[in-house]
Amino acid sequence: MGYSQAQKAESRQRVLETAARQIREDGIEALGVADCMRRAGLTHGAFYGHFESRDALIVEALEYAVALSEKRIAATVSAAHANGSAKKEPLRVIAEMFLSEKHIKDPGNGCALCSLAGEARHAAPAVRESLTQYVHKLASRIAQTLASDSETLALGIVATIVGAVTLARAVDEPETARSILAGSLDLIVAQSADA
């Protein structure tokens, strides 16, 4: 008895969720097909029924993680407006989401760009292309919050966010990590005021 299309789609979704979490937690090179399939509750042999290669899985998992980040940003901004936080600038809302201790401590559910930027230069071209597209989308979203609508300034803000998250995760002193996040948030919010 074979699987229904719905069961196959559900299994594929579990594999994507698992792989997306794994690459954000451990990096692209650490993703093993057998381990990913086991964590998703499937056999290694079922892999090729869903993906043509490990590289194809990585690209789709990255696209899945990026889509989650985009939805999370939109939901966070919408929730801030709905909760009466409309006075809080959208740029601050976005920056606070990225520059939070929760985000730092949970890379598996966080931004793929923040998790993978350091190793992306060694990644396959399709991975770099996907991350590049996300950089532009995120910068565009940020530029819309600025009075000047400057893509260059927005790219600088994206770089500040990614750098701050990377450093905050790298240091072994929680107070230093909090200072990195707070200082970066101050820099970003100041840009909003100056724009």
What percent of the chain is helix, strand and coil (3-state, nearest 5)?
80, 0, 20
pLDDT value, residue 89: 83
List CB contacts of 155: < 8 A, sequence separation 6 or more: 135, 139
For the chain, give the percent of residues with pLDDT over 90: 70
Domain that holds residue 74: 59-194
Residues 3-7 have a mean pLDDT of 80
For 30-80, what is each residue's pLDDT tens digit?
A: 999 999 999 999 988 889 888 999 999 999 999 999 999 999 999 988 887
The two structure tokens encoding residue 190: 């100041």
For 130-154, what is each residue's pLDDT tens digit?
A: 999 999 999 999 998 887 778 999 9
Do the Cβ atoms of 91 and 115 come closer than 8 Å? no
Domain contains 124: yes
pLDDT at 1 over 50: no
pLDDT value, residue 157: 96
Is 85 or 37 the better-scoring residue by pLDDT?
Answer: 37
For the chain, give the percent of residues with pLDDT over 70: 94
Domain contains 1: no
Q: Is the dihedral of CA 45, 48, 54, 60 positive or negative?
A: negative
Q: What are the C-alpha distances in Å from 165 to residues 29, 69, 151, 180? A: 20, 15, 21, 8
Domain contains 54: no
pLDDT value, residue 87: 55
Residues 110-123 have a mean pLDDT of 91
pLDDT value, residue 85: 53
Number of domains in the chain: 1
Domain contains 68: yes
CA 151 to CA 144: how far, in whole Å?
9
Domain contains 46: no
Domain contains 17: no
List CB contacts of 86: < 8 A, sequence separation 6 or more: 80
List CB contacts of 17: < 8 A, sequence separation 6 or more: 40, 64
pTM: 0.88
Domain contains 45: no
Is 114 or 80 the better-scoring residue by pLDDT?
Answer: 114
For 11-36, what is each residue's pLDDT tens digit?
A: 999 999 999 999 999 999 999 999 99
Q: What CATH number does the domain containing 90 carry? A: 1.10.357.10
Domain contains 49: no
Burial of 40 (0-12, 13-18, 19+ CB in 10 A): buried
